[in-house]
Chain A
């Protein structure tokens, strides 16, 4: 079963994404800040990390940098999640540090986020669960 590690400081969003991922057949572990995530991820061996940018204690960019610096975690694909407006210097920085992609939470429904997760896992040749409902064309979200 594909394992996803979700890091976000907002409990409501954690519950929401966790519910969606689990409904779609993923195994989900969570952390509410960068520090906790860094200590749990090496043990949890996830196939993918969903990482929020603005968090207390250690923010997403720092966490990403540390994950990518550690031999045991550097190969895990990371999707950066944010709600800070649109693209800015942070986006570039995250991509530079090796994030798989960068998504603005308010622009996507949970279903679309899971679709992105699926795409990235497929590209990394990880076996992904069959989703019950077919995912619609999401071109209109490009804007």
Chain B
């Protein structure tokens, strides 16, 4: 059988063919692996780089804004006075601490607009300006020389000696500067120039100019023409772009930066560009490909495109770089192994094939084997991909965690509230920038010290006892108002929120303290109160006259009264009374909001006050035919301001009387934990549930359709609840049904309770803070 003869050589050919196929397959697999690993690595790199670039973009934008506010404050200097002298400018610039706080600013200068006609006078005035140098500037002249209709002359420059040569430089002669200056003037805004050489010399490095226009004081700037006419000069900050970006960039991750394209955006609504493109530039040496990120930063009317080049070492770290080769290596080794295994097995099997002549079966078996091998190779491949994926996932997660942490860090660091973190003993372990701003202490001065050694310790002992009790013993957050002292000795008022951070065992790990300086707000409140006091006095005098004279007319003091006039005169009288009440309530609301309403705490029997109040209102209740039931009241010793409690009760009872036409109003007192609660129940018109919520709002009056216009000032319940809170109690709508009546609850702290004690501390502190409190 010729066939049989032929097959004798096949055992050697088949493994060869098979293993050849295997090699081809495994090489292919290895190549796929390589490319996948490469793309995974590349994607990861790209993401990392892009996040970094994004971070840089936001920080650059943030530092641009900081620089912008620096310029705005410099402009304030010029707006504050008729003229600013050279030495004033120098001491202002020195006070800014530029080298430390605005490291990218190389030079800050003031440029004066000079008309051709004034040129000589101007030059002379600078030459004779001896405020900084005793000899003045004898050689000063506007450079470059020549006749121009106007000059924009560098008049003041800091650092003064390093750049003294540039005094007199007419910046308008540089077309790039001119266009930026014009833009700033026309838009009355801070403008950032394109990269340019800012001085008269051409060998200086390229810089960005940040420009703010200054207009003559008290001139209109509304129209473009006004702005062009009234411009008096500019303040220019020369910014070193490399330093600006290096200030915000982690030095190791960026190799170099190119400002490549600056486009002026003229449309009104600029969409904040968020385009960040990352690309890989493959170098000849293929292992050293480079990542380039292109990002866009908007500032004012300009868009900057910035190219970031990653440094080589961030690229593919050695394992990652060789991992594709590693995969190929494994692929080849595996395929050689398979080849040997197959060759051997096929050799053995082929002998059996010859003997048993069941070639087909054998063949199919070896194909099975081959398939099996192939499957295991596939398994190997997916296992390897999984391992690599895991490896990447873990790094990715770490990176993500880092980014998250960084986000939180940035948010806390740049928050406008003063935030500090202390250990359980109160030693500061972290302070954000706002802490420096509000207290004047530097971060270095704060770390490792206690707040009591820095700005704290100016309240009485009770305050600190209460605070520590809350945050240390009770492990809860403490809110309060505190008076602190800045490094410069000035006091400020702040709202504080201090919270303990606990671990799983409920142990205190550290404290987070947030402070907000409210001194300004307090001052405004005090001013408002003073104004209202004065206004109310001025209002009350004529109102007293209207009410007094009306009552005298009605009494017949001015002669007989026409009967037709009695009703209208009564109306005049009662509306004046309403006005007087409104003024009183407004004044009290303003006082309590400013912490200037005086509370005199004492211990008294609540039932006595209730009985006195009921006595006051009995007449009114009788007139309306309503039963006022106050007899079922037990005695309880409470701590509060007796007058204020009476005022609150009059208010609630007054409302009950106003909105009840028949039936009764009854009072009872119950004890609940640390409070005595007065319940005032009426059978009046009731309050709809949706109105119940609005009841205690300022100026809120519930629409009363049955009676038309609401009565009263809308301040009564608001004032009452504010006063109740201050005394450590509360007021609430306990029950109400439309048409059936309502029940209000009013709680007052019992004497010698925690609630009474806390209220006392708060009230005493407020009295210390506002010695001019009024009752």
Q: Name A's B-contacting residues (CB within 8 A).
A: 10, 12-13, 16-17, 19-20, 23, 54, 83-89, 91, 105-106, 109-111, 133, 137, 139-140, 142-143
| Chain A positions within 8 Å of B587 at CB level | 85
B534 to chain A, nearest CB (A): 9
B557 touches A (CB below 8 Å): yes
| Chain A positions within 8 Å of B620 at CB level | 140
| Chain B positions within 8 Å of A12 at CB level | 541-542, 545
- The answer to whether B552 and A19 touch across the interface, beta carbons within 8 angstroms, is yes
Which of B543, B557, B646, B650 is the most central at the interface, judged by chain A CB atoms within 10 Å of its CB?
Answer: B557
Q: Closest chain B residue to A91 by CB distance?
A: B775
> Given that A54-B537, A84-B537, A106-B580 are contacting pairs, would A142 and B547 also be in contact in the complex, using a CB cutoff of 8 Å?
no
B413 to chain A, nearest CB (A): 46
Which one of B549, B558, B580, B775 contacts A88 once the chains associate, using CB atoms below 8 Å? B775
- The answer to whether A110 and B551 touch across the interface, beta carbons within 8 angstroms, is yes
- The answer to whether A84 and B533 touch across the interface, beta carbons within 8 angstroms, is yes
Please report which residues of chain B, range 547-564, place their CB below 8 angstroms from some CB of chain A when the two chains form the complex.
547-549, 551-552, 555, 557-558
| Chain A positions within 8 Å of B775 at CB level | 86-88, 91
- The answer to whether A143 and B540 touch across the interface, beta carbons within 8 angstroms, is no
B655 to chain A, nearest CB (A): 14
- The answer to whether A85 and B545 touch across the interface, beta carbons within 8 angstroms, is no
Q: How far is the CA of A79 from the CA of B1 in the complex (A)?
A: 147
B273 to chain A, nearest CB (A): 58
B643 to chain A, nearest CB (A): 9
Interface residues on B, range: 20 to 34
B610 to chain A, nearest CB (A): 15
- The answer to whether B551 and A87 touch across the interface, beta carbons within 8 angstroms, is no
Q: Pick the 7 closest A-B CB pairs, nearest first.
A: A88-B774, A87-B775, A109-B551, A83-B540, A106-B540, A110-B548, A106-B544
B629 touches A (CB below 8 Å): no
Interchain Cβ contacts within 8 Å, total number: 77
Contact string against A for B residues 15-33, beta-carbon threshold 8 Å, 1 for contact and 0 otherwise: 0000000000000000000
Q: How far is the CA of A17 from the CA of B598 in the complex (A)?
A: 32
Q: How far is the CA of A6 from the CA of B771 in the complex (A)?
A: 33
Q: How far is the CA of A86 from the CA of B581 in the complex (A)?
A: 12
> Given that A109-B551, A110-B551 are contacting pairs, would A83 and B541 also be in contact in the complex, using a CB cutoff of 8 Å?
yes
- The answer to whether A85 and B616 touch across the interface, beta carbons within 8 angstroms, is no
B279 touches A (CB below 8 Å): no
- The answer to whether B541 and A85 touch across the interface, beta carbons within 8 angstroms, is no
Which one of A85, A109, A137, A140 contacts B548 once the chains associate, using CB atoms below 8 Å? A109
- The answer to whether B552 and A87 touch across the interface, beta carbons within 8 angstroms, is no
- The answer to whether A110 and B552 touch across the interface, beta carbons within 8 angstroms, is yes
- The answer to whether A111 and B551 touch across the interface, beta carbons within 8 angstroms, is yes
Which one of B544, B619, B650, B772 contacts A83 once the chains associate, using CB atoms below 8 Å? B544
| Chain B positions within 8 Å of A105 at CB level | 540-541, 544
B374 touches A (CB below 8 Å): no
> Given that A23-B557, A85-B536, A86-B584 are contacting pairs, would A16 and B646 also be in contact in the complex, using a CB cutoff of 8 Å?
no
Q: How far is the CA of A137 from the CA of B540 in the complex (A)?
A: 24
Q: How far is the CA of A143 from the CA of B488 in the complex (A)?
A: 48
| Chain B positions within 8 Å of A88 at CB level | 598, 774-775
B647 touches A (CB below 8 Å): yes
Which of B548, B580, B620 is the most central at the interface, judged by chain A CB atoms within 10 Å of its CB?
Answer: B548
| Chain A positions within 8 Å of B598 at CB level | 88
Q: How far is the CA of A48 from the CA of B60 in the complex (A)?
A: 78
- The answer to whether B540 and A16 touch across the interface, beta carbons within 8 angstroms, is no
B664 to chain A, nearest CB (A): 21
Which one of B552, B650, B772 contacts A16 once the chains associate, using CB atoms below 8 Å? B552
B558 to chain A, nearest CB (A): 8
Which one of B537, B547, B650, B774 contacts A143 once the chains associate, using CB atoms below 8 Å? B650
